[in-house]
């Protein structure tokens, strides 16, 4: 008897992309920089907070591509190259963080405050709908079995 995996279970129709989403998320989440929090801020709202010390507004970009929230950071070097550090504990490297968004989840706003980038998300409330499917009578000899 073979074990069925989640995406290939016969009762889960149309979830083929779920396995790809899980693999892509695992691959993108391997790096721990920058650290982040995800919190529930309301019944249908969430907040992602990234610790981006040293990054300014112009160093950060937020895009949504194919239901993925992508946060990128790249510090532009001015005359910072002339500085000599005895210890450098504040990361200054570029980064990319990817978060998968479910259908109906949209970015409401983003703000940078005290070295923290807050990205607020909202989910549209789904209506409970009942759909009745008409059953057509098959015409022809193949309609009766037996």
Q: What percent of the chain lies above the pLDDT cut of 70? A: 71
- Read off the pLDDT of each residue in 89-100 and give the average, rounded to a whole number: 87
**How is the chain split into domains, by residue range?**
32-125
Residue 7's pLDDT band (boundaries 50, 70, 90)? low
Burial of 130 (0-12, 13-18, 19+ CB in 10 A): exposed
Q: pLDDT tens-digit profile of 11-34?
A: 666 666 666 666 666 665 556 889
> In whole angstroms, what is the distance from residue 24 CA to residue 101 CA?
13
CB-CB contact of 89 with 108 (8 Å): no
Q: What percent of the chain lies above the pLDDT cut of 90? A: 49
Q: Does domain 32-125 have CATH number 2.60.40.790?
A: yes
């Amino acid at each position: 008897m073979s074990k069925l995996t989640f995406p290939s279970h016969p009762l889960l129709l149309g979830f083929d992309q779920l396995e790809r989403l899980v693999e892509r998320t695992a691959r993108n989440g391997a790096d721990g920089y920058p650290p982040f929090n995800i919190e529930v801020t309301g019944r249908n709202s969430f907040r992602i907070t990234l610790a981006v010390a040293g990054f300014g507004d112009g160093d950060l970009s937020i895009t949504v591509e194919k239901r993925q929230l992508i946060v990128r950071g790249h510090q532009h070097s001015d005359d910072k190259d002339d500085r000599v550090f005895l210890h450098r504990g504040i990361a200054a490297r570029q980064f990319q963080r990817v978060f998968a968004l479910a259908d109906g989840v949209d970015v409401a706003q983003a703000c940078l405050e005290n070295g923290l980038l807050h990205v607020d998300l909202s989910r549209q409330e789904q209506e409970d709908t009942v759909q009745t499917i008409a059953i057509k009578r098959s015409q022809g000899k193949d309609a009766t079995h037996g």
